[in-house]
Amino acid sequence: MYSSFRMSEALAGAIVEAAKEVIGHDVNFINPDGKIIASTDKQRIGTFHQAGMQVHGEGRPIEVTASEAYLGSRQGINYPVIIDGQRIGVIGISGDPDECRSMGFLLTKITEVLIKEQMLARETQSQDELRSAVTRLLVFGEAAEETHGWRGRLSQLGVDMEEGAFVLVVEDRRPGRERSGSAYSMHDVVQQWHLKLYTYLFPNQYIAIAGQSRYKAIVQDISAHPAHGPDKLTVGIGSIAAWEQLSLSYRHASLALQYAVSIGERICEYESLELGLLLAGLDPGVKRDFAGKRLGGLTSEERMLLRTYFLHNLSLKETAAALYMHKNTLQYRLDKIAEKTGLDPRQFRDSVSMYLALLVQDEDV
């Protein structure tokens, strides 16, 4: 079974993103030939990692104390991921090895458990195992391989495949949630939505799949119940797709969840994302730098004025009325903003740049 296992980029990506949230360092998953197939530092995906390839070859951890020591490697520590004696890949943590060492072993063991669960998803017995197995096969991109018989398994579970489906990623963001407690809490929630397909995902997430006809009802239920609020559960909803393409819906749901968390909302639908979709994928440092260069010299009152101005589609008359301000006073204040920033909010290109900067800045509030 293990010799035929293929580590999907979706599963590797889910592992590194969840791991970073727990340990606070960038995390990489490196395949046996040294290619980084998933990373919280998106620029490194697809690049070569010499230390990772050596770790896989030797089966022992390697600490990198200087970035130039290994081609494509950065300071940090790398551990082999081993399942029943077989090396599957390498998990790497970027940072001071002295800081990473204490968390590296635990992270590696958790990673091995998750991968083994995915392997065992092909050989299940109970209904709970079957439900989890099919969900994992679909969202981690293995459904296209018809040899897994996922259609037959869906039929066993009484799932209607005549319509499309979508993925939800549900996250419990309460501090100090243990794996068992978090899983139990979210298990109750997905039961309320009458879902037949769901699985637990490290460290505090559930992945669920629902039929297209349930989309509106589920969105309304999440929005209507305070128990699903941002202080407890946050939900990202992916796009509607064919069953064999649900790995794409899962990626969309993950993006929607990331954006919902960034703006403090309880729910975000991928289909509703516009500029937010682009912003969600940007590095936080890049976003802060972008906003700082364009708005750094402005007072909070001036930024509020700009928000009102953009809210009223750059109408001087409507903005002045909303701010109880004379039109000439508004013109004067816009002139002062242009002097401070070098950007004129009355010009289309400059207004777009400032509008994006305000969106980015609002995410960090």
Q: All domains of the chain, ordered by start, with CATH? A: 2-120 (3.30.450.40), 127-279 (3.30.70), 283-364 (1.10.10.2840)
pLDDT reading at 200 higher than 80: yes
**Percent helix, strand and coil across the chain, each rounded to 5?**
55, 15, 30
Look at 177-186, 271-280, 323-332 and tell me which has the smallest mean pLDDT: 177-186
Look at 162-166, 182-186, 202-206 and tell me which has the smallest mean pLDDT: 182-186
User: 144-162 pLDDT, tens per residue?
Assistant: 554 457 777 788 788 888 8
Look at 84-98, 114-128, 242-256 and tell me which has the smallest mean pLDDT: 114-128
Query: Regarding predicted confidence, which is higher, 48 or 231?
Result: 48
The pLDDT of residue 336 is 94
User: 32-80 pLDDT, tens per residue?
Assistant: 999 999 999 988 999 999 999 999 999 999 999 876 678 988 999 999 9
The pLDDT of residue 47 is 95
- Do residues 53 and 78 lie in contact, with contact meaning Cβ atoms separated by under 8 Å? no
Q: Give the pLDDT mean for 158-177.
A: 81
Q: Which pairs count as long-range contacts for 58-63, CB under 8 Å and 24+ apart, including other chains?
A: 59/87, 61/104, 63/97, 63/101
- Do residues 138 and 249 lie in contact, with contact meaning Cβ atoms separated by under 8 Å? no
Q: Residue 201 is encoded by which pair of tokens?
A: 């995902």
Q: Provide the pairing of β-strand 27-30 with 36-39.
A: antiparallel
- Do residues 28 and 4 lie in contact, with contact meaning Cβ atoms separated by under 8 Å? no
